[in-house]
């Protein structure tokens, strides 16, 4: 699997921008009532750095592996596939985070070549299923951490990956669920119940670190 210079740049920028957006979201929703000026005052502090690292390792990694899963499966089916960042959406994600709204549509893997509806569904489903697996991997960290950074990482890693899996299975617009539904309604129903169920369970029983 190869990455062009542009694709590597886009992945890196999207990862960093998402990490920053989630950091701002966590700060704004912390209950401290921070204004934009107050947020700027926190840049470079130990709290800001800790939350940025936390966001990059959870939301950022979840996003990166989601997109790389699309790419791996697309290449497996003989496609030419590359990730492209959506800089407008990344800017909106940062702006939304400043007012306490969680929104992320950083870009997508674009692939081309002859493909069947079943293969297209497989490419689409690879992303959400990767997030389900990541949520499961973060769960022991959440369950067995004594507290502090590891507990937050486990909590955020479970919830964000589970929610990302469920959200992407919505059969609307460019989301993965629409491509799966196009292929097979039964297959869509089973995968939607799995991903949405994991997402709902994570919100109810794990929650966000606030």
Per-residue pLDDT tens digits for 8-43: 999 999 999 999 998 888 888 775 556 666 666 677
Q: For residue 210, tell me if it sits in a domain.
A: no
How distant, in Å, are the alpha carbons of 8, 10, 100, 136, 162 from that of 13? Answer: 9, 5, 22, 27, 23
Q: For residue 120, tell me if it sits in a domain.
A: yes
Q: Which domain holds residue 174?
A: 5-205
Cα atoms found within 13 Å of the Cα of residue 117, Cβ hemisphere only: 11
What's the pLDDT tens digit per position in 79-134?
999 999 999 999 999 888 888 787 778 889 998 888 899 999 999 999 999 999 99
- For 80, the enclosing helix (H) or strand (E) is strand 80-85
Quote the CA–CA distance of 25 and 19 in Å, as a whole number: 10
Q: For residue 81, tell me if it sits in a domain.
A: yes
Q: What is the reported pTM?
A: 0.88
**CB contact set of 199 (below 8 Å; sequence gap of 6+):** 162, 163, 164, 165, 166, 167
Quote the CA–CA distance of 22 and 53 in Å, as a whole number: 10
Mean pLDDT of all residues in the chain?
A: 88
Nearest Cα neighbor of 64 from 81, 85, 44 is: 85
113: tokens are: 């070549």
Q: For residue 83, tell me if it sits in a domain.
A: yes
Burial of 63 (0-12, 13-18, 19+ CB in 10 A): buried
What's the pLDDT tens digit per position in 36-93?
666 666 776 787 888 899 999 999 999 999 999 999 999 999 999 999 999 999 999 9
Quote the CA–CA distance of 87 and 52 in Å, as a whole number: 20
Quote the CA–CA distance of 62 and 164 in Å, as a whole number: 8
Q: For residue 177, tell me if it sits in a domain.
A: yes
Catalytic residue annotation? 67
Q: How many domains does the chain have?
A: 1
Q: For residue 47, tell me if it sits in a domain.
A: yes
DSSP 8-state code for residue 56 = I
How distant, in Å, are the alpha carbons of 41, 73, 209 from that of 16? Answer: 20, 24, 20
Residue with tokens 């957006």: 21
Q: Please answer whether residues 195 and 132 qualify as being in contact, where contact means their C-beta atoms are separated by less than 8 angstroms.
A: yes
Q: For residue 109, tell me if it sits in a domain.
A: yes
How confident is the model at residue 148, as a pLDDT? 86
């Amino acid at each position: 699997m190869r990455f062009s210079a542009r694709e590597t740049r886009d992945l890196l920028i999207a990862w960093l921008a998402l990490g920053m957006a989630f950091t701002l979201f966590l700060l704004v929703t912390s209950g401290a009532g921070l204004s934009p000026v107050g947020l700027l005052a926190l840049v470079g502090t130990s709290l800001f750095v800790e939350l940025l690292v936390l966001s990059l390792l959870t939301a950022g990694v979840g996003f990166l592996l989601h997109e790389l899963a699309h790419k791996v499966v697309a290449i497996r089916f003989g496609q030419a596939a590359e990730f492209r960042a959506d800089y407008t959406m990344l800017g909106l994600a940062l702006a939304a985070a400043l007012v306490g709204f969680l929104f992320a549509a950083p870009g997508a893997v674009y692939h081309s070549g002859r493909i069947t509806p079943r293969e297209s569904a497989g490419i689409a489903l690879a992303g959400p299923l990767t997030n389900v697996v990541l949520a499961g991997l973060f769960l022991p960290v959440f369950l067995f951490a004594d507290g502090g950074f590891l507990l937050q990482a486990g909590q955020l890693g479970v919830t964000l990956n589970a929610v990302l899996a469920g959200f992407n299975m919505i059969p609307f617009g460019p989301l993965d669920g629409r491509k799966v539904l196009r292929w097979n309604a039964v297959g869509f129903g089973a995968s939607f119940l799995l991903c949405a169920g994991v997402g709902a369970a994570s919100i109810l029983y794990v929650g966000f670190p606030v």
